[in-house]
Amino acid sequence: MGQALKRSTINSDRLWDALEELGRIGAFQSEHDEIMGVRRLALSDEDAAGRRLVIEWFRDAGLSIDIDQIGNAYATRPGIDNTLAPVMSGSHVDSVPSAGRFDGVLGVLGALEVIRSLNDHNITTHRPITIAFFTDEEGCRFATDMLGSAVATNRVPLEQAWSLRDADGRSVREELERIGFLGDEPVGLRKPHAFVECHVEQGPILQREGLDLGVVIGVQGISWQRLTITGASAHAGTTPLEYRRDAGLVAAKINAHMREMCTSGSFGELMLATMGVISPEPCSINVIPGRVIATVDLRNPDDTALESAERHLQAFLSELSASEGIEIESQLTARTPAVAFSPDVQSVIADTADSFGLRHRRILAGAGHDAQEWSRVCPTAMIFVPGENDGISHNPLEYSSPEQCANGINVLLNTILTLADQDS
């Protein structure tokens, strides 16, 4: 039974080798430094290759695999009593265009390493264990984050998810079909006993405080919009100021205003706002931009403050549109409220970390995570692993050491064992 492996360790070299091997899929030479980055946009050829490698590893570990209609992959190791709900663990394989090797991948390959370690030690758990990866957690290709887990947990309807299109007009459904991951398992039916995800922190707190782990208490609210700012393209040298309808200038004003929203304190100290896409047309040095596609990413741990920031920004867009004579269309593409994780699962993680002598603290997630979707379905929490370089992430410099990763996955293993031995 599970007790036998408590406080024993995973195979850290094997975990590291797997992280390195998957990190070679979609690897690119970063412009700014020697370091290799990773680009595995959801449902791209690179994502498909990453998925296939992980599925092969799942199979080699003796797991039975199911793919659902949104392309999530579930791999299950039976327990003693397979009528009981499984403990589930997993994360994502897709990445932002400028990723490192750890975001999401540590949670998937860490869960795989848990299974491999259980196999090595011939450990049988009371409940089955399901490990998984979820489609398009990043949301940067099809504009909605946590897409696969949101569909699996009935927040986003399947048809709506299938019909999302990327910038080239390709739909989620077409791309799932093209890469061979349009599965047949119906979505929305899985009800795990508990869900636990290990992830890199992606911020500076754990490193700054010299800690080994974070026990994640929840996730802040996230609001995404796509702005279409339409003015008129015209000659940069011959168009007097009063004749201009400069969509680029308007995008810059919105961006500057978003920063003021963060520094003003009006939406609390923790308000964050980012314009990650600013895409002018026609994009030429001597043409006033006639149109800009821009994105807005607002984050706040306080739902009321986030709603108030959304309303404030909307009012600012209306005023600016009127004063500049420029059309600003905004479309909400993703919206998730702040989420609180299960105190019980947090306690299991914290006790397990103590049993390893690891220094830890409670911490709030700034990034979105698949776990927040599963938290509506079953008791859920997350383990954060510190990152070097102030925990930089969504950047090729993202790095957690073999020891830091192994700490997180040792705690994941033993947390899963405790949860998998629970009767209720």
Q: Footprint of Mn ion on this chain (CB under 5 A)? A: 103-104
The values of phi and psi at residue 121, to 5°, are: -95, 5
Number of alpha helices (DSSP H) and beta strands (DSSP E) in the chain: 13, 18
Minimum CB separation from ligand GLV for residue 135, in Å? 14
Minimum CB separation from ligand GLV for residue 155, in Å? 16
Q: 104 touches which of Mn ion, ligand GLV, none (CB within 5 to 8 A by kind)?
A: Mn ion
Strand 380-385 relative to strand 291-300, pairing: unpaired
Which of 401, 397, 387, 405 shows the shortest CA–CA distance to 100? 397
The values of phi and psi at residue 71, to 5°, are: 85, 10
The values of phi and psi at residue 64, to 5°, are: -95, 135
Which of 324, 233, 328 shows the shortest CA–CA distance to 285? 233
In the complex with ligand GLV, the residue whose CB is nearer, 236 or 340, is 340
Rg (CA), the chain: 22
* Residue pair 91/370 in contact by the 8 Å Cβ criterion: yes
In the complex with Mn ion, the residue whose CB is nearer, 41 or 229, is 41
In the complex with ligand GLV, the residue whose CB is nearer, 75 or 371, is 371
In the complex with Mn ion, the residue whose CB is nearer, 151 or 328, is 151
Q: 145 touches which of ligand GLV, Mn ion, none (CB within 5 to 8 A by kind)?
A: ligand GLV
Q: 46 touches which of ligand GLV, Mn ion, none (CB within 5 to 8 A by kind)?
A: none
Minimum CB separation from ligand GLV for residue 104, in Å? 8
Minimum CB separation from ligand GLV for residue 143, in Å? 12
In the complex with ligand GLV, the residue whose CB is nearer, 199 or 244, is 199
Q: 368 touches which of ligand GLV, Mn ion, none (CB within 5 to 8 A by kind)?
A: ligand GLV
Q: Which residue is nearest to ligand GLV (CB)?
A: 367
d(CA 43, CA 61): 24
Minimum CB separation from Mn ion for residue 112, in Å? 16
Minimum CB separation from Mn ion for residue 107, in Å? 8
In the complex with ligand GLV, the residue whose CB is nearer, 145 or 212, is 145
Minimum CB separation from Mn ion for residue 96, in Å? 6
Contacts by residues 8-12 (CB-CB < 8 Å, ≥ 24 positions apart): 8/121, 9/406, 9/410, 10/113, 10/114, 10/116, 10/117, 10/406, 10/409, 10/410, 10/413, 11/113, 11/116, 11/117, 11/120, 12/402, 12/403, 12/405, 12/406, 12/409
* Residue pair 195/371 in contact by the 8 Å Cβ criterion: yes
Q: 373 touches which of Mn ion, ligand GLV, none (CB within 5 to 8 A by kind)?
A: none
Q: Which residues bind ligand GLV (CB under 6 A)?
A: 138, 145, 367-368
